Chains A and B, each alone.
Chain A
Amino acid sequence: MSYAQRGMDWVRALPKPAKIVLWVLFLVFLFALPLLNIPFITTPDSDFGGVLFTVSTYVLVALGLNIVVGYAGLLDLGYVGFYAIGAYTVGVLSSLHGSWPWLWTVPVAIGAALISGILLGAPTLRVRGDYLAIVTLGFGEIVRLTLVNSQWLNGAQGISNIPRPPGAELFEVPSLDWSSGAPVVDLSNTTTFLKFGITDQIPYYWLALSVILLVLLFDKLVKDSRVGRAWEATREDEDAAELMGVPTFRFKLLAFALGACIGGLSGALFAGKAGFISPDSFVLLLSILFIAAVVVGGAGNRWGVILGAIVVGYFPERFRDFADFRVLVFGLALMLLAIFRPQGILPPRRAVRAIEADEKLEALEEGEVRV
């Protein structure tokens, strides 16, 4: 059992109020992370707020892809396509062919990704799983080539001047300075609360983190229901699931479409922060890094894929010398994991489910719900 798992068990064993306090503290820590400037963790070569934002988009994408790959067992190698569709929807509506505010474009971006997910999924989810991998790979490339070739989308030049998310300049938040060896509150280096500007990237990270929390909640609620069970049954044995009354095609399509939505949402966030997008932002490589994040962390376990996304998104930024080799390293990691630990670093665990199921049973027996 790994340390991470032991840690999780320790948290689970705590009484409820302690758990809540711990979670709140952890959340505060996450939000404060870019201001703490903790030595070693903070990236020396690039703006830490920006890095945290990048890592957050990886986490968001990995959570979305986990629904498709981890829960429903569909290997989607074209996930970057949905990410691109989300970003370009924002770009087109807010800058290139319209002047909508960023916030309004986000639901449209999610909708566009959803529709493209259904259009791609409806014909292809009926074919064998290994074919799906290739078709989705092709889809990712079709999207990119379309962006490059389409004059209406400004071709290879991309879209610039995408508006930022709406903000308000409410108050200043100070940061910590460690240059003397111990942390000192630094009042000269502050972040304006919710000013989405160019230089200070920290508010974007806060936004992305909030979105991640919402998606996590959504993920948990949906997974822990008939829908989640149907996905897992389909993944385990599609024919048997069908014969137990699961309309497998419908559930596969649902997983694919929800995954696409989250991909589109991530793309919209990315466009809002970057201000500029071009086809080069959506290369195939990203799809593979996304898959690596999910598989390395442990497909099917949301904490596992978050860990995987942090590994894939953070390490190349922290160790810049390593950036050139990151595809090589992640390729190698995929191979080695497939061979030696196909379930990933942090695989879904039965013990956790057992505890949750026991809690539910208790509730059932105590409550008046008796059928």
Chain B
Amino acid sequence: MSEAFKDEPVMEINPDVDIAPEPVGGPIVAEGEKLLEVDNVTLRFGGVVALNEVSFHINKGEILGLIGPNGAGKTTCFNVMTGVYQPTSGGVRYLGKPLGKRKKFQITKLGIARTFQNIRLFANMTALENVMVGVDAHHSTGVGSAMFRLPKHRREEAEGLARAMELLEFMGLRGKANELARNLPYGDQRRLEIARALATSPQLLCLDEPAAGFNPAEKAKLMELIRTIRDQGYTVLLIEHDMKLVMGVTDRIVVLEFGRKIAEGSPAEVRDNPAVIAAYLGVDEEDAS
């Protein structure tokens, strides 16, 4: 995939732009406290067990890697956390409270945002509009305010535009703000998806294989980007099956295989864990993508 864009310069981001999450209400957790807990989650589809009693937690301010071979249940785990699927048993606690049967958009408003493994931008909207949809998550302009151009509409529109442009600037996409999402090169689309997720000012940013289809140089840049995002005040959950990549950037790693958690710990601990080695044995990570 990356071959096609070889001539593109490796992404230029502007790490100094302030993109810290907007205060959007709700309790703020102190650094290092538990932000989200996945508690004994089991998910069955008919006879297939997609997740089997999976438990782990994410601390505020860390980068947690969720790794495992293909089909291990990583994306399914994301889907449970973001309300796409309801777990068969067990549950997810966010800021100490169960998510319960909240709808997807409500969970986003609570502060969990995500990207998708296969890019799902709003293809016929511009880059700027894509990001503004994310900012809009915390806005409440309705037909009335829009129709009469009430102060609420003006304020939210101005705030939204400003935040969206900062995010695009941060991602190095400012010059492409008015391009349709579907006309952007692949690498830009990946970053635009992250910008759109960041626009919702999440406490927890979930990235589903953001480096898929990148060449090694781009991957390295992306990991730098993820670290910068964390430094700006976000907590990051990163799905990736390229072990080497995850080792360098994450604080802790959770390993899934066949829907079960087989290991958890610091990158060094996980790397030496015999169960993890067995799971990855014979699988060339580069090929797996």
Contacts and interface: CB of A to CB of B under 8 A. Distances in A.
A371 B134 CA distance: 17
Interface stretch (A97-105, A205-213, A321-329, A357-365): A357-365
A242 interface: yes
Residue with the highest number of chain B CB atoms closer than 10 Å, among A224, A226, A229:
A226
Chain A contact surface mostly:
helix
A370 to B, nearest CB: 7
A240 interface: yes
A367 B158 CA distance: 10
Contact of B146 (A227, A348, A371): A227
A230 B147 contact: no
Interface size class of B (residues with CB under 8 A): 35 or more
B123 to A, nearest CB: 6
B161 A364 contact: yes
A225 B124 CA distance: 17
A326 B148 CA distance: 40
Interface string A340-371: 00000000101001100110110010010111
Contacts of A242: 103-105, 108
Interface stretch (A145-153, A178-186, A243-251): A243-251
Contacts of B200: 244-245
Contact of A241 (B109, B122, B147, B199): B122
B128 interface: yes
A248 B126 CA distance: 19
B137 interface: yes
Contact of B109 (A228, A233, A245, A371): A245
A293 interface: no
Contacts of A258: 143
Given A233-B122, A240-B116, A358-B178, A246 B133 contact: yes
B44 interface: no
A30 interface: no
A11 interface: no
B57 interface: no
B99 to A, nearest CB: 14
Contact of B178 (A239, A354, A371): A354
B141 A227 contact: yes
Contacts of A361: 161, 165
B162 A371 contact: yes
A228 B126 CA distance: 13
Interface in B48-92: 82, 84
A239 B138 CA distance: 18
A258 to B, nearest CB: 7
B19 interface: no
A245 B130 CA distance: 12
Nearest to B116: A240
B114 interface: yes
A357 B177 contact: yes
Given A242-B108, A245-B109, A245-B134, 14 more contacts: A218-B147, A225-B153, A226-B136, A227-B141, A229-B132, A236-B122, A236-B123, A242-B103, A243-B104, A243-B114, A244-B196, A246-B136, A361-B165, A367-B158
8 contacts: A226-B139, A229-B132, A233-B133, A243-B108, A243-B114, A244-B113, A244-B137, A246-B133
Interface of A: 218, 221-222, 224-230, 232-233, 236-237, 239-248, 254, 258, 348, 350, 353-354, 357-358, 360-361, 364, 367, 369-371
